[in-house]
Amino acid sequence: MSKETSLKESGFESLTVTYQENIAIVTLDRPQALNSMTVAFWEEFPRAIRSIDDEGRARVIILQANGKHFSAGMDLQVFNAMGKSFRADPARRAEQMRRKVLLLQDAFNVLERARMPVIAAVHGAAIGGAVDLLCACDMRYCTQDAYFCVKETQLGMTADLGTLQRLPRLISPGLAKELAYTGRNFSAEEALRTGFVNQVFADKASMYEEVAAIAATIAQHSPVAVSGTKTMINYAADHSLHDSLDYMATWQAGMFQMEDIQTAMQAQQKQNIPEFSPLKPGISRLDD
Mean pLDDT computed over every residue of the chain: 91
| Number of domains comprising the chain | 2
Work out the average pLDDT over 101-127: 97
pLDDT exceeds cutoff 90 at 120? yes
Work out the average pLDDT over 230-235: 96
Each residue's pLDDT tens digit, 191-214: 999 999 999 999 999 999 999 999
Residue 59 sits in a domain whose CATH number is 3.90.226.10
Q: Which residue has the higher pLDDT, 20 or 258?
A: 20
Q: Which residue has the higher pLDDT, 273 or 87?
A: 273
Q: Which residue has the higher pLDDT, 88 or 220?
A: 220
Each residue's pLDDT tens digit, 41-87: 999 999 999 999 999 999 999 999 999 999 999 988 777 766 666 67
Range of the domain at 208: 4-219
Crossing angle of helices 76-83/39-55, nearest 10°?
110
Distance (Å, rounded) from C-alpha 232 to C-alpha 182?
34
Distance (Å, rounded) from C-alpha 100 to C-alpha 219?
35
* 63 and 206 fall within a common domain: yes
Q: Which residue has the higher pLDDT, 8 or 71?
A: 71
* 234 and 193 fall within a common domain: no
* 243 and 163 fall within a common domain: no
Is residue 58 included in any domain, yes or no?
yes
Distance (Å, rounded) from C-alpha 237 to C-alpha 252?
19
